């Protein structure tokens, strides 16, 4: 046995496996430009110390190496198995393995300042688009972006009257076992880092209730003269999915400065869109405690949506404004002058914050005793379209009532068996992020729809704890509408109907519905802001 200073032990076979995997990982990192050849002895010794191995594998001096993989997952799996066998990690849970693999990959990574310098060199030599592509690739190669898990996500396109929607079932974030949840609950509460977005996460070792981030690297950027950071999301929902967050732990708040920051970003990163979640509960994102945006290199369905109604404003002759043909309520602003666009967007936002229309259930403010609560906000999105700056303002309202306690302009209860979470920025743009539980539910429902008698029997025996229990009425509806089907046809029908539900959810989240009454109400709001309706040029 190979004995370590802390009493950890590996069998001779495990030592050989681990030392060979260490060398393979080092060669992988050099090949993919995560580190320089000069760093190899240093990193090798760091990893040998971690695994309490006294010397490297016999092949470590060889200049040539066997085929080097594009991803590190198989090498890491070998090392993590050895870590468990030696007692370096106490169990084989995903949490423990993730904590260690981030530590391992962090040893292969450049220091944050070195990666920042590299980004600047590439940007100066080859341009910003090449610089972000290189930074994204490094984030993939170091396993911060979990490409192996992202591939597990289900993805399909859904044709609708508003264009093709993108549908995903999120399977990339592994669910914690009951044992892991119980252990995390026993931890002493920690307030460091303050949240998952804070810069203090860089290099953090993690714990059972907080991910390890030794392989996280962030880039400092200036937005509107303020200090912000740029990073990629570990579970990318689209190409080059990035997060831009404030240097300080400030709560989300939409102001004129928000629009200025978004426009500034697209001047610096013209190949990326950028958007912000709304700043109110129910219609906002999952993290309201730290001001942040999401960006990336992806064309969302909303970007392809045309203008249905166009307006002009006498004070803004250089700006076109229109209602987008979309299930939610979207005003699209276009101009070659970002300063003018900023002023126009801010005025519309200020008008919307105080706007009410009882005919369509929009109340800007409600009074509760001596307290007034604001309900109107927006989800802003900015992109470049050639020389134009383009901004979509998605009107939001977070009011609730007795019939809809989760939110009037929120997924209604008939859709909660598919999705009950907030409709955030990504879904506003037409990319559905559905819970992982649906994958197994879809498989079970597919089989049941291909055997009617089986469904009748199963339905009568369903308990409230069964994952199919919330789907009862929906399965009945599918059988009434489509009848008995072959399994492959049933799967197509289910995916199509889930897509229909997503479009319906977006419709429900729209404050001005995409019908005659809603369109008239939308035009009244535009008129109240001083806009005049005009004919749409044929080119649009």
Q: pLDDT tens-digit profile of 36-46?
A: 999 999 999 99
pLDDT (0 to 100) of residue 2: 44
pLDDT of residue 31 exceeding 80, the answer is yes
For residue 164, give Cα distances in angstroms to 160, 472, 526.
Answer: 6, 28, 28
- Bridge partners of 365, per DSSP, are 374
Non-local (6+) Cβ contacts of 62 within 8 A are: none
Burial-class residue 3 by CB neighbours within 10 Å (0-12, 13-18, 19+): exposed
- CA-CA-CA-CA dihedral for 474, 479, 482, 488, to nearest 10: 90
Question: Which H or E run contains 444?
Answer: helix 437-449
Distance of CA 355 to the CA centre of its chain: 31
* Share above pLDDT 90 across residues of the chain, in percent, rounded to a whole number: 84
pLDDT (0 to 100) of residue 178: 64
- Among 374, 391, 372, CA closest to 382: 391
Determine contact, residues 190/198, Cβ cutoff 8 Å: no
State the average pLDDT over residues 397-407. 93
**Average per-residue pLDDT in the chain?**
93
Non-local (6+) Cβ contacts of 26 within 8 A are: 40, 43, 44, 47, 108
Question: Which H or E run contains 219?
Answer: strand 219-223
Beta strands, E only, 233-319: 242-246, 273-275, 292-296, 307-312
For residue 386, give Cα distances in angstroms to 267, 377, 389.
Answer: 12, 29, 8
* Share above pLDDT 70 across residues of the chain, in percent, rounded to a whole number: 95
- Distance between CA atoms of 255 and 349, rounded to whole angstroms? 9
- Distance between CA atoms of 396 and 410, rounded to whole angstroms? 10
- Distance between CA atoms of 53 and 76, rounded to whole angstroms? 17
Determine contact, residues 215/102, Cβ cutoff 8 Å: yes
Q: Which residue did the predictor score with more confidence, 84 or 452?
A: 84
pLDDT of residue 451 exceeding 80, the answer is no
70: pLDDT confidence band, cut at 50, 70 and 90?
very high
Task: Look up residue 471 and give its DSSP letter.
Answer: G
State the average pLDDT over residues 493-506. 98
Determine contact, residues 107/43, Cβ cutoff 8 Å: yes
Two tokens at 421? 């979470």
Q: Which residue did the predictor score with more confidence, 380 or 456?
A: 380
pTM: 0.93
- Distance between CA atoms of 282 and 297, rounded to whole angstroms? 27
Non-local (6+) Cβ contacts of 467 within 8 A are: 437, 440, 441, 444
Determine contact, residues 290/250, Cβ cutoff 8 Å: yes
295: pLDDT confidence band, cut at 50, 70 and 90?
very high
| Phi, psi dihedrals of residue 504, rounded to the nearest 5° | -65, -40
pLDDT tens profile 181-193: 677 667 677 789 9
pLDDT (0 to 100) of residue 535: 87
State the average pLDDT over residues 156-175. 93
pLDDT of residue 540 exceeding 60, the answer is no
- Among 504, 327, 334, CA closest to 414: 504
pLDDT (0 to 100) of residue 471: 96
């Amino acid at each position: 046995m190979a004995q370590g200073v802390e009493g950890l032990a590996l069998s001779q076979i495990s030592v050989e496996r681990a030392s060979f995997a260490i060398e393979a990982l080092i060669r992988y990192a050099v090949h993919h430009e995560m580190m320089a050849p000069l760093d190899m002895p240093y990193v090798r010794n760091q990893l040998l110390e971690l695994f309490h191995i006294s010397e490297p594998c016999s092949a470590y001096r060889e200049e040539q190496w066997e085929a080097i993989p594009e991803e590190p997952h198989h090498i890491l799996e070998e090392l993590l198995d050895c870590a468990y066998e030696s007692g370096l990690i106490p169990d084989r849970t995903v949490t423990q393995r993730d904590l260690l693999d981030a530590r391992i990959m962090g040893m292969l990574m450049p220091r944050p300042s070195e990666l920042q310098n590299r980004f600047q060199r590439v940007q100066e030599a080859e341009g910003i688009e090449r610089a972000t592509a290189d930074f994204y690739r490094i984030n993939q190669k170091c396993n911060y972006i979990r490409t192996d898990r992202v591939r597990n996500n289900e993805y399909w396109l859904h044709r609708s009257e508003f264009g093709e929607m993108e549908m995903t079932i999120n399977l990339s974030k592994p669910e914690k076992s009951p044992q892991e949840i119980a252990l995390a609950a026993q931890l002493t509460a920690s307030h460091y880092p303050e949240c998952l977005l804070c810069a203090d996460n860089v290099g953090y070792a993690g714990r059972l209730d907080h991910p390890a981030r030794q392989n996280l690297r962030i880039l400092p950027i200036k937005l509107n003269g303020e200090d912000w950071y740029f990073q990629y999301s570990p579970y990318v929902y689209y190409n080059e999915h990035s997060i831009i967050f404030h240097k300080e732990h400030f709560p989300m708040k939409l102001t004129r400065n928000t629009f200025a920051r978004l426009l500034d970003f697209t001047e610096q990163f013209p190949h990326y869109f950028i958007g912000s979640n709304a700043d109110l509960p129910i219609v906002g994102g999952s993290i309201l405690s730290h001001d942040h945006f999401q960006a990336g290199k992806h064309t969302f369905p909303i970007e392809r949506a045309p203008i249905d109604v166009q307006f002009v404003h006498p004070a803004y002759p250089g700006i076109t404004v229109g209602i987008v043909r979309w299930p939610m309520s979207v005003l699209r602003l276009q101009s070659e002058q970002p300063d003018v666009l900023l002023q126009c967007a801010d005025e519309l936002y200020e008008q919307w914050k105080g706007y009410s229309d009882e005919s369509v259930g929009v109340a800007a403010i409600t009074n509760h005793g001596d307290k007034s609560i604001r309900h109107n906000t927006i989800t802003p999105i900015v992109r470049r379209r050639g020389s134009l700056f383009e901004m979509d303002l998605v009107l939001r309202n977070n009011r609730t009532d007795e019939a809809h306690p989760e939110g009037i302009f929120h997924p209604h209860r008939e859709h909660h068996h598919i999705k009950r979470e907030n409709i955030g920025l990504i879904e506003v743009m037409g990319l559905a992020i559905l819970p992982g539980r649906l994958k197994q539910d879809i498989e079970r429902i597919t089989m049941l729809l291909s055997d009617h008698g089986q469904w009748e029997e199963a339905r009568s025996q369903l308990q409230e704890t069964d994952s199919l229990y919330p789907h009862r009425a929906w399965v009945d509806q599918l059988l009434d509408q489509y009848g008995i089907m072959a399994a492959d046809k049933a799967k197509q029908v289910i995916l199509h109907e889930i897509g229909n539900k997503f479009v319906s959810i977006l419709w429900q989240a729209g404050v001005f519905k995409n019908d005659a009454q809603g369109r008239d109400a939308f035009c009244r709001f535009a008129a109240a802001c001083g806009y005049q309706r005009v004919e749409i040029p044929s080119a649009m």
